[in-house]
Amino acid sequence: MILLKMAFRELLIHKKRSVITVLLCAFSTALFIFVNALNDGSHKQLIRSSAETYPGYMQLTGRAFEDNPNYDNLIFDTPRIQNILKDQKWISAFSARFESYALYATDEQSIGGMFTAIEPESEAEVSRLKRSLVSGEYLSSKDTNALYLGVEFAKRLKVKVGDALSFISTGADYSFAADHLIVKGLFKTKLYEFDNSAAFVNKSYFDEVMHSTDSATHIIITPAEISQIDAVTQRLQKVVGGEIEVKNYKMILEDLVLAMKVDQIFSYITLAIFFVVIFFVVAIFAFLSVYARIRQIGVLRAIGTTPGQVMQLLLLEALILGIIGVGIGGAASAHATHYYEEHPISFGFWGDVEIEEYYKQYNMVAEVTIPTQYNPPKIAVEMLIMLMLNLASVLYPMIILRRFTPIEAMRHV
Amino acid sequence: MKFLTVRNLKKVFHKGSESQTNALDGIDLEINKEEFIVISGPSGSGKTTLLNIIGGLDSPSEGGVDLEGTLITELSENDLALFRRKNIGFVFQAYNLIPVLTAKENISYVMRLLGCPKSVYDARTLEVARELDIDRYLDKFPDHLSGGQQQRIAVARAVASKPKLILADEPTANLDSKNAEKLMELMRRLNEEEKVTIIFSSHDPLVIKQARRSIVLRDGKIIEDVVCP
């Protein structure tokens, strides 16, 4: 108790030094937590944007479809699989697709592109296709001959909403398939290559034209908990059987996940440098504080304070400053991360067009705003790390003190 | 068995260099309980070094110090601190009070380290403070007290935990003659009433004459050891 009282008074006597240390600690804690939250938030958003734009968080395909994406390796019993999926509580939504290619023709020109069947209502729950509508209307399950087209693709085809075009393709039974289509709606996902080549029709119409009833190339799934995706993947694989392959976004977006891992490693390196700088700055303050009273510490030891108790005293001082500094920094950054999770930081001041151009190069979804990720348990752990770092900063002064006998310390000027 | 035995104590500073100094050169000394001893001698004679080694604040180059069967020169830093806490009270020339503690807290500090209950250390602090006539300064911090008042608080701190031995290094050096006389009277009283063994160093003849045994050092050696009448 007396040591605690001494620690408090020592800090109060040297107000300026204490305030600077607290501010330094608060600032570094806030920065550490906020940078991490922004990093996590941007990664989460990147995954969400990439997965939800079209590929989905999870995909079911025929076992050999990836190596040989042809009509012999389809999911041929889609209703049975969909019935199984309906009963899984760890799945929040699913939708079947049939991806194919077609040659589109207008009066002026013919261009090849994707020709994909979707289940309009359920598709809206597994991707952002519906939300990406920019003109006209999204598809419905009653539609026939209606086409939902990427804006860039529409530009190439020189068509707009309401215009007619025809397509020619190969049906699921390798027969010849062709029909007229009317552009019902245009979409823009900001994924340039996708917007430049994708076109969708209602699956029931597609099945009729392409003879693909009960078949699908993919079933897209959204798990109830994204964080549990690995476990859901394993469970699902057991449920659907060996003929069907289950993949999650970590496999589908392998390059993106790898890029994020590399980014994470660079973040850790940056943070490590940050830690070293903060550690030394706080350690210098702790050292100055101890160095200025080596004589006093010599007296304490002379009258019976053990080296361990001297260490306790210094640790208590560091702990008090650390708790206040980390507390202030942690509270401020928690508030900020919570706020910016709901109100993502806008980088629009760089100009939307420039940002879109930048992302276009990498075929990624252009995002002008980045949210933070508010994660209270993680913030608590980060605050604890900063507190430990603060406590560790008194180790060097302690080593210096150990070199002095009480009498040497008392003679120290 | 003697209360305190010093055997062939040597202390060499800057060993091997041109400025090598033999601060203590083979001191042998035996001290009984409840003695009131002054160590005197010119500057550089080794008074402070001897007191520091007896108190376990410094280590000898050779020889040993035995206090009631404990060879304190062999103890570790931690054990030495515990030993000092329990057995030795120090009065320093520069008072050396803890600036962040009040007079009361300074006096009770060692008792608190020893784990005494609050009621016990509060009562003892008050008792010692009254004895030394400093009870009205108990709530003051050291920097609000005069040199004489600080030295009396330093004495109170040294005696409050009832140590077996009090070591005082030139306790009157920074005091005027009136305060120096008062302090010596006080220490003598503590020796007689509290039965504490006291060893102090001084080169002030007025102070030296109050001791019951006088040891004179020169060049690190005892040149005189007499019991005063």
Q: In chain A, where are the structural domains located?
A: 2-51+256-411, 56-252
A304 in B contact zone (CB under 8 Å): yes
Report the pLDDT value the prediction gives residue A348, as an integer from 0 to 100: 63
Distance from CA of A40 to the nearest CA of B (A): 46
Residue length of chain B: 229
Contact B57 A10 (CB under 8 A): no
Contact A304 B98 (CB under 8 A): no
> Which residues of chain A from 306 to 325 reach within 8 Å of chain B, CB to CB?
306-309
A314-368: per-residue pLDDT in tens? 899 999 999 999 999 999 999 999 999 999 888 766 555 565 666 655 556 556 6
Q: Give yes or no for a contact between A183 and A159, defined as CB atoms under 8 angstroms apart.
A: yes
> Which residues of chain A from 247 to 276 reach within 8 Å of chain B, CB to CB?
none
Q: What CATH number labels B4-227?
A: 3.40.50.300
Distance from CA of A4 to the nearest CA of B (A): 11
Strands A58-62 and A218-223: antiparallel
Contact B58 A407 (CB under 8 A): yes
Nearest-angstrom CA–CA distance, B10 and B26: 5
**Is the reported ipTM for this assembly greater than 0.85?**
yes
Give B3-60 as a DSSP string.
SEEEEEEEEEESTTSTT-EEEEEEEEEEE-TT-EEEEE-STTSSHHHHHHHHTTSS--
- Residue A180 has φ and ψ, to the nearest 5°, of -95, 150
List, for chain A, all residue ranges whose pLDDT scores fall below the cut of 50: none
Query: Taking the model in full, what pTM does it have?
Result: 0.74
Nearest-angstrom CA–CA distance, A81 and A70: 20
CA angle A359, A365, A370 (to 5 degrees): 90
CB pairs under 8 A between A and B: 67
Report the pLDDT value the prediction gives residue A198, as an integer from 0 to 100: 95
A233-251: per-residue pLDDT in tens? 999 998 888 889 999 988 8
A411 in B contact zone (CB under 8 Å): no
- Residue B188 has φ and ψ, to the nearest 5°, of -65, -40
Question: Which amino acid, A75?
Answer: I
Q: Which of B86, B96, B113 sits opposite A299 (nearest CB)?
A: B96
Percent of chain B exceeding pLDDT 90 equals: 62
Q: Which of A299, A307, A405 sits opposite B98 (nearest CB)?
A: A299
First-last CA distance in chain A = 29
Distance from CA of A405 to the nearest CA of B (A): 7
Which of these ranges, A125-129, B4-8, B172-176, has the smallest mean pLDDT? B172-176
Domain boundaries, chain B: 4-227
- Cα A244 to chain centroid distance, Å, stands at 28
Contact A306 B81 (CB under 8 A): yes
Nearest-angstrom CA–CA distance, B183 and B199: 14
Distance from CA of A413 to the nearest CA of B (A): 13
The three-state secondary structure class of B216 is strand
Nearest-angstrom CA–CA distance, B210 and A157: 117
